[in-house]
Each structure stands twice: as structure tokens, then as C-alpha cells.
Structure 1
């Protein structure tokens, strides 16, 4: 990066951190540290909710998904607006009325302490691991830019986030996220405009979309009912609905965001704002990835986007083989440019036979390019058995750092890092909240002073920060980070949601029945996932239904045992 980029990057980061520290001054007790004194406005709540979900993974992996798979991932969010409506009607007023710090306090009042502890434990494991993944994502950025080992950048980023989170608490996190999302929206708009600007002079936005469409990248809607297909309208509306309902309704990293609202109205408006803006935002991020794909139809794309791995290959005994593959790629690229010119001409003249012929030729050339890519990956594996051969998370990063002008690169990298800081800080804060409220104050220090509780909150924040950094060190083995986080969530969220739905709506089911129903359901969900029976989004629905059905059956069994005459 240039000096200008470094100035833009560090100025942006320092501005955000200074703003968060300023807004979080004078924290005196656990209510201020964990709930921000319940004083935040609806738009602060809304941006905080969005920032918690939109981590650096979103801005690294989503454009990569758009580039490689097209727009189909946007269907994942189709159930989000419906989930926001349900939350506003049910969860929000209940949590506000109970005046709780965490979502899991309610479960002890409804069931028993065992159910509360189990649900909190499931959350801590899932959120702790997924937060580690969100720390790893921006580490890729610094690793690629500075050409140093990703382990060092992971430790650096993790340390910065831990220091910031331990000091700031919830109020700092929320106010910082408000400013972060404002910068992110502006940066994304500028990035989209820049991608179109970099296309050939005769290729505008509509022409780019037509080229992407002919290449199969604009497949945003799929109405097929295929249980093995991860991204369809039905998996999004049904599986996605249950995932989002569980995530926003039972995950403390999100519940803690809207518990800071000054009133039920402020919390509701914040959630509805998220429901209205999230799908268009995700659509635009994926679209940027699709436009990057179009750019590389006119320009030679790297066969492998992780420059660290290709650099090692260039220095190895396989360098000649790699160079020969690159020469073949240049020939394909030249042929593709000619065919694209023919396709553009055919589209402008509405010549259907010529369009079909050009499309088939481009598809054939892209298939040949994929074979060359597979040859490169084979060489990378031969050169280093431990090499990371999934480069999806590097696609957008490589594009930005090699094509964008000075200053703009620093801004885009700052956006990705800001997203990571916001999501990671709120997640670690929620892990600390759950540990303090549901474990420490419930089982260890029931009558501690406010000063002791505040110290414990900061200590647990530090402990969970260290834990997530350790997880981040192993995150590079998980493939596409965005999918990895959602798969991990789907393994736990269905069960947790089932517990809360039973708590809210099935008053005849007691704590013992729902506890064992949750344990058995979690075992079943993991078994179904390991056997790869259905797409992962359906696990949210399956887990939820299993808890409800098993809870009903176990409660009937328990009631029947009570009716048996004693000897």
C-alpha cells in the first residue's frame, strides 16, 4: 500500500476508537458496562445490530461468493424481515418487561437453573468459536498486504480488539458501530461505482449485468424445492427464518444490542430498520462480487488469488510448470476478450443465435480456465501439503489492492477492519455478559458489590478475547468463512430457539422435559449434519422442531410417571 493508503487506514481506525472511548467514559457499574444504561436511540440500536452481524467476513467472503457462485446467497436472508416482525411482537417486550441483562435469565424463571445453564453453555461455545473466525478474517488482509505470516496478524488484530473491548463495554461498542456502518455504507457505494468505472469504455452497468447473466452469475432466485440445495427461496424463507429468529432472539450478541434501547419502541424500530436494510445491503455486496467477475472477463484473473501461496510456488521447483500454466491462461484470456466483444455486439443487435453461440464459447473457455486453476492448486499442494488451497476470501481483497487508486485502497481495507472490530467487540462483550450474569453471579458470587461485578465483567471480557484469538489461529482450515460461520450457527441455533419457543408458548412443558429434549435434539442435529442428509440451513428448523416434539413427549412421560401409584 502507498503512504496515502496507510494514512487513510490509520486515521479512520483512530477516529473510530477515539469516538468509542469518548462515548463510553464514566462507566461506573455493570449496568453501564453491559447494557449502556439502556439509553440508546433506535437508529443507534439498528446500526449496532447490523454491524454485529456484518463482520469482516461479510466484506471478504460475500464478494467471493458473488464472484464464484453468483447471487444465490442473497436468498439466505429472505427470512430476516419476517423474523424481525416476530421478534418485535414477542421477544422484545418480554425481555424489556423482565428487565434482564441476558436472554437466558428468563429461562430460569420459566423452567429451572439447569435449562438456563445449558442454553447459556450452547451459546458460549457457538459464539466463542464463531467470533474467533471473525477475528481471522481481517488478519488475512494485513497478512496479504504486509507479506507476513497470518498468525502474527491474527495476534495483532486480536490484541487490539481485546484492549478496545475490555475498556469500552456495550456503550462504546454501540456508538462505535454507528459511525462504522456510516463509513461502510459510503465505502460500499464508492466501491461499486469504482468497479463499473474500471470496466471497458463500451461496457456500462446494464451490459455488465447481461454478461454476468449469460455466464450464470445473476441467479438470485431459485424456487426449486431441493433439500440438498443450500440456497433457494424455500431454504431462505423457512430455514433462514428459523436461523435469523434464533440468532436475533436468543443469541446474546444480538439481544444485548437491542436491550440497550431506551424503550420497547426504540428497540423495535432498531430491529425493523435492520430487517429493511440488511437484504438490500447483502444484495449489493454480492453484486460487487459479480461485477468483479465481469471485470476479470476482460482482464486476466489470477488462477489462484492467495498471492502468498503463488509466491511460494514461484520460488519452488514447480516454478516452470506454473509459468507454463500461466502462458496457457494468457491464451484463454485473449480468446475470451474476442468472444466477449462478439457477445456485446450480439446483445446490442438482439441476435439470439449469436448470443447463444458466444455464451457457449465463453462457458467453454471458463471451464478450461477452471481446469488450469485445478492444475495450479495441485502444484500448490505438491509444494506444501499444509498450504491453504481455498482462496475465496482473497478474491475481493486482491481485486481492491491491485486495481483501486491510492487512498481508496486504505479506505476499503479500513471498512473491512472496522466491520471486524464492531462484530468482534460486541460478540466478546456478549460472551462476557453471559459468563458474568448466567454463571459468575448465579453460581459463584451471588452477592458481590458493583465494583466486584464490574471487575469480573472486564476479566471475563479478557478471557473470552484470548479464547477467540486462539480459535482464530485455526480458522484458515474452515474454507469460506461466511459459510463456516452460518454452518456453525445452524448446529446450535435451532435447539436454542426451540427452548425459547417452548418457554414462550408451551406452558405445559416443564424444565426437566425441555432440558433433556434440548440435549437429545443437539445430538440429533450433529448426527444429521455429519451424515450430510440435508443442506445446513434446514438444521435450524429440524433442531427447533425436535426440541418441541421431544419436549411434549417427555412431558407426557413425566406426567404419566407421576400418576403411577407409589409402592
Structure 2
């Protein structure tokens, strides 16, 4: 603790006090479950947009992305070049369904489209995968506190979880969003300081790029059609686009921010923030990792996620370690608070209120939301401890684990939006087939002599989702036959309903009906083209 220094401690403590103050201030307006789950629904779109960015760009990115680039070079960036395509699909197709429902949970849409069983199954899949995500996020932050302060990693996990639970239970989603704004500012300030020093260090940028090119670390667009390698263009633009559509469009934690917007235009603008900013952010993180590879001459690290911290410590800039500690703590607390809030919202809206207390009061649902927030925080602790000591980039490990779940999730929402003949019975069979097929591919099935097939984890979403769609459609046709009309909650069904009832397709200049593309959303396709051109040029440098 003494080595950390008074100035560094002052920075961290000031940040923690600011976070707690925001949580307490936000709590004044929380008088109902709706306030807890969606806030006042009067927050500015830019705050919601920063929250969308900060929730996904967590400490996993701050620590894991440089570690990943240190190992694989700029090729790893291909996994994160697809955000314009992702946001284009989400705001055009999925977001209008969820926003128009007015419900706090996106899984209510599935009940309208298929039935209560589908809603419950997908909500359970979300909760199972999200609590694992929560655990890995807090472990990423514990790397920082242990490295910098010497606090035992298990104690660090307990302290961080307790702090996040405190302000999330009190302030709800509004506290989450406004602390996200503070936390994102600190996170990007920390990254900027590190990048500035790398660019102005003893090795000129031109020489650094030359060394990276010689080491094969500068190739950002790996066009080899090799399904055993994760960071390729085909995996990034194909498989990982589907993966991130699930993260941003079929994930309660992310969509909940858009549902808190006062208009659908604000909801879409909040998502456009990530569509335009996502690549720039991840390019910065991966460039830091590549430049660190040059700085440390490619020497392997026992714990790769500490690379950026080792470099910052070597700079000996007063207050820098405190800023980085605050940055990584802020990123962690941002993602963790969003995770706990979405888990509590799903628990109350999709289970407690749906099955156990349909006629409860707002006050009962509010206290239930707080109780479930605490419950999920406690459940995440032993899972966090299990993550301690895991090797490699924690960002890559988390994304790999998440790939097991996204195929079934995306296929379910996709079939709901675009399939005419899918039924609930067929869909449930398809979901089971999705997990079974993926398990056999990844682990094999020795009783039948089936060996595992070596395939990179980005393609899990294609395998799982493809199996889900194929089996669902076949089972639906066998069990119920062809359906005569489009369901009201499909994209064609919604457009037919709007036309039949003479409903306005736009609200304040933004499309309310699913399947219609707004002007600013078209710009995302142009932005994606510019990203491809930039990366094509970038990998020729040096």
C-alpha cells in the first residue's frame, strides 16, 4: 500500500466517492420498480450512448485487448471491425420491437411472438451466461488492485462486488447510466495517457511499425479461409457480426439502456454512438498492445493481462497508476452494475412478476428488484473465485465462453422476426439441438466414436445458430404445418399491421416500424467501408 503512494490513493478514493455520490443522488428518484429498471425515461441520448459504450468496453477490453494484440498482433482487430454492421441490423430490426412494447424486459417480446415457455427459456439462458460474464469482469479488475496495491485477489473481488452492489441496489438504472458517464471518461483518459507515452517513447512510430510488420503483427485483415483461426476477416465480418448482433440486440443488459430513452429516436441515437465509435475505441486498445509488443521486444508474460500495468509502472509518472487503477475500476464497476441491474430486471419481470406475484404493488416489485440484485451479486462471487488464475487474454476467454450461448439466442430472435412458420414447440426443440450440436462439435461424443472438430470459437455462433434454425423449421413444419399468415410480431407482420391500421411509421423523424432504415443508419454502411479501406492501408505501413 505504501508503494502505491498518497497521490494515487487520493485519485482512487476521489473516484470511488464520486461514484457513490452519483448513486445516492440517483436514488432520490427511485420510488417504483419501473424507476429501478428504466430510470426516469427522460435521460439524454448521449448519456445513454456513453452507457452503451461503457457497458461493453469494460476492464476486459482495457486489459484484455492489449494482451490479445500482444499475442496475435493487429489481426485480432478483425473481431471488432463489425460494429457498424451490427448496429445497422439492431436498430433497424430488433430495437423497434422492444421499444414499442414499453416493457422493461426484451424477453416479453418472445412471449408475444411464441409463448411463455420460449420467454422463460431465453431469459434463463441470459441469466446463466450473464452471471458468468459478471464474474469474469470483476476478476479482470482484481488483476489491477492486486498488481498495484498488493491486496489479496479474493479480498479485492469481494470489495469491488460489494461497492457495485451498494450503489446499484440504491440507484437502479439511472445510477448505472450516470456512473457510466463518469467511468467512461476516466477509462478513456487512462488509455489516452498510455498511448501518448507509447507514441512519444524512445522508439519512433515508424520504427515500431516496421518491427511489427517484420514480426507479422501488423496484418489487420487476415484473409485466409481457415476455420481454425479466430482473428480472420471472415470470422470478424461473418461469424462475429452475428455474435455482436446478439450482444447488442438480443441481450437484456445492452438493450435496457435503449428502453430507458424518452423516444425511439433517442434509443436509436444511443446505439449509433457505439456503431460509429466502437471501431475507434478498439483500434486504440489493440494499437496499445501492438506497440507494447515492440516496447517489451515480444518477451512473454506470465499474466498477459498485466502488460499495460507493467508498462505504466515503468513510466513512473506521478498519479498515473492511480488514474489507471481508477480507470479499470470504473470500467469494471460500469459493466458490473449494468449486469446486476439487468439480471435483477429479468428476474423480476420474467419470473417473479410473471409467475409468483402478478398483482403485487410497485413497492413490492422495487424491493424484489433490490433483493435479486443482491442475490446475483452473491452468486457471482464463487464463480469469480473460479476464474482467478486463468491464463491468456481474459477478453478472449470471455468471448469464447459467450460463443456457446449466442447461436441459440440470435436464431430465436431472428426466427421471431423473419420466419412465418416457426412455432414454439419447434423452437424449443431447435434450442436443444443448438446446444447439443455445438457440444458434439467442440467436445466430440465418444460413445458413438465422434471426435471433436477443431474450429475457432467465433464460428460457434454459426454452428449453434444454424442447427437451431434448421431443426426449428423442420420440427415446426412436422408438428404444426405451414402457417397461413405472418405473425403480428414478425417484421412483415408489423409492417402489415401499420399499413392496415393506418399507424404513423415515424416518430419525430425516426422509423417506429421494424425493417425501415433511417438516414443516419445508412451512414453506418459507409463508415464500415471506410474502416475496411483504412485497415487495408494501415497494414501496408512500416
Structure 2 length normalisation: TM-score?
Answer: 0.84
Match of 1:151 among 151, 154, 167: 154
> Is 2:406 the counterpart of 1:493?
yes
2:239 aligns with 239
Which residues of 2 match residues 367-406 of structure 1 at below 5 A? 391-406=303-318
- Give SS of 1:537's match: helix
Cα displacement (A) at 1:554 = 0.2
- Partner Cα distance (1:522, 1:446) in 2: 32
- Partner Cα distance (1:59, 1:540) in 2: 25
Match of 1:55 among 54, 58, 73: 58
> Is 2:355 the counterpart of 1:443?
yes
- Give SS of 2:296's match: helix
Checking the alignment, whether the CA contact within 8 Å between 1:212 and 1:218 is kept in structure 2 is yes
- Partner Cα distance (2:155, 2:186) in 1: 27
* Structure 2 unmatched ranges of 5 or more: 444-451, 484-542
2:467 aligns with 546
- Partner Cα distance (1:137, 1:282) in 2: 17
Cα deviation digits, residues 448-497 of structure 1 (max 9, x gap): 11110000000000000111122111112543211121112110011011
1:290 aligns with 290
- Partner Cα distance (2:214, 2:367) in 1: 59
Cα displacement (A) at 1:149 = 2.6
Moved more, 396-405 or 252-261: 396-405
- Partner Cα distance (1:273, 1:522) in 2: 33
2:385 aligns with 473
- Partner Cα distance (1:474, 1:401) in 2: 28
- Partner Cα distance (2:304, 2:465) in 1: 32
1:177 aligns with 180
Checking the alignment, whether the CA contact within 8 Å between 1:80 and 1:240 is kept in structure 2 is no
> Is 2:141 the counterpart of 1:110?
no
Which residues of 2 match residues 170-249 of structure 1 at below 5 A? 170-197=173-200, 199-200=201-202, 203-249=203-249
Which residues of 2 match residues 27-426 of structure 1 at below 5 A? 27-197=30-200, 199-200=201-202, 203-297=203-297, 304-305=301-302, 391-426=303-338
- Partner Cα distance (2:177, 2:316) in 1: 31
Larger Cα-atom Rg: 1
Cα displacement (A) at 1:12 = 2.2
- Partner Cα distance (2:350, 2:478) in 1: 30
- Give SS of 2:138's match: helix
Checking the alignment, whether the CA contact within 8 Å between 1:529 and 1:536 is kept in structure 2 is no
- Give SS of 1:473's match: helix
Cα deviation digits, residues 26-76 of structure 1 (max 9, x gap): 210011100113222221111111111011111111111222221111111
- Partner Cα distance (1:9, 1:149) in 2: 18
> Is 2:456 the counterpart of 1:535?
yes
* Change in 2 beyond 3 A, CA 1:560/1:57: closer
2:431 aligns with 518
Checking the alignment, whether the CA contact within 8 Å between 2:421 and 2:482 is kept in structure 1 is no
- Give SS of 2:218's match: coil
RMSD: 1.7
Moved more, 179-188 or 407-416: 179-188
- Give SS of 1:534's match: coil
Checking the alignment, whether the CA contact within 8 Å between 2:148 and 2:321 is kept in structure 1 is no
- Partner Cα distance (1:404, 1:74) in 2: 30
* Change in 2 beyond 3 A, CA 1:560/1:185: closer
Checking the alignment, whether the CA contact within 8 Å between 1:23 and 1:172 is kept in structure 2 is yes
Checking the alignment, whether the CA contact within 8 Å between 2:186 and 2:323 is kept in structure 1 is no
Moved more, 72-81 or 427-436: 72-81
Cα deviation digits, residues 248-271 of structure 1 (max 9, x gap): 111111011211111111111111
* Change in 2 beyond 3 A, CA 1:13/1:109: same
Checking the alignment, whether the CA contact within 8 Å between 2:228 and 2:455 is kept in structure 1 is yes
